Amino acid sequence: MTGPQHEAQHGAQHGAQHGTQHGAQHKAQHEAQHGAQRQGADRIVIASVLALILLGLLWELWLAPLRAGGSLLALKVAPLMLPLPGLVAGRLRSLQWLSLLILLYACEGLVRGMSDPPADRWLGWLEFALALVCFVATLAAVRARRAVSAGTPAHATAAEVPEPRSARDR
C-alpha cells in the first residue's frame, strides 16, 4: 500500500473505532439519564401513593369521618396497598395497573371536592391533586422504562420513535 492509501485506510479504521466508542458512550449516557428520570418518577409515584393512603385514613377516621369515631370508608385505601410491593421493586406491571387504579381516586377527589360540606372540600381537592401527581408520575415512569428498553429518548415524539418490527417483517 502506498502512503496516502495506507493513511486513508488507517483513518477509516480509527474513525470506525472512535464512532463505536462514541456510540457506546452516548448509549451509556442515555441509559444513565433515563435511569435517573425513572428513579425520580418512581419516587414520586411511591410518595404520592403513600400520601393518598395516609390522607384516606386520616380523612375517614379523624379529619372528616362520615360518622363520629370513623367509618369503614377508610378501607378505600386498601387497593392502593396492593401495588406497593411491585412499585418498590420497580415492576412495570404494577405501574400499569396503578395508572388505571389511580383514576378512581382522582374521580372520588373531584366529586367530593365539589359535593362535600364546604369545610371538608379541601380534602377532596387534595386527594384529586395527589392522584393527578401520581398519574402523571406513573406515565413518566412507564415512558422512561420503555425509552431505555427501546433506546429512544423519553422526550421523543411519536414520529421520532421507530415502529417495532413484527414477526412478519423479518
Q: Which of 50, 38, 54, 52 is nearest to 137 (CA)?
A: 38
Q: Tell me, what DSSP letter sits at residue 151?
A: T
Residue 25: CA count within 13 A, CB half-sphere: 6
What's the average pLDDT block by block, 10 residues per block, for the chain (170 residues)? Answer: 56 53 58 73 98 97 90 95 97 97 98 96 98 98 87 56 50
**Predicted local distance difference test score (pLDDT) of residue 67:** 85
The pLDDT, as a whole number, for residue 20 is 56
Position 68 scores a pLDDT of: 87
| AA letter at 67 | R
Determine the distance from the C-alpha atom of residue 170 to the mean position of all C-alpha atoms in its chain, rounded to a whole number: 32
For the chain, give the longest Cα–Cα distance: 96
Secondary structure percentages of the chain, helix, strand, coil, to 5:
80, 0, 20
CB count in 10 Å sphere of residue 98: 26
Classified as helix, coil or strand, 90 is: coil
**C-alpha–C-alpha distance, residues 148 and 90, integer Å:** 14
Rounded to whole angstroms, the Cα distance separating 138 from 44 reads 8
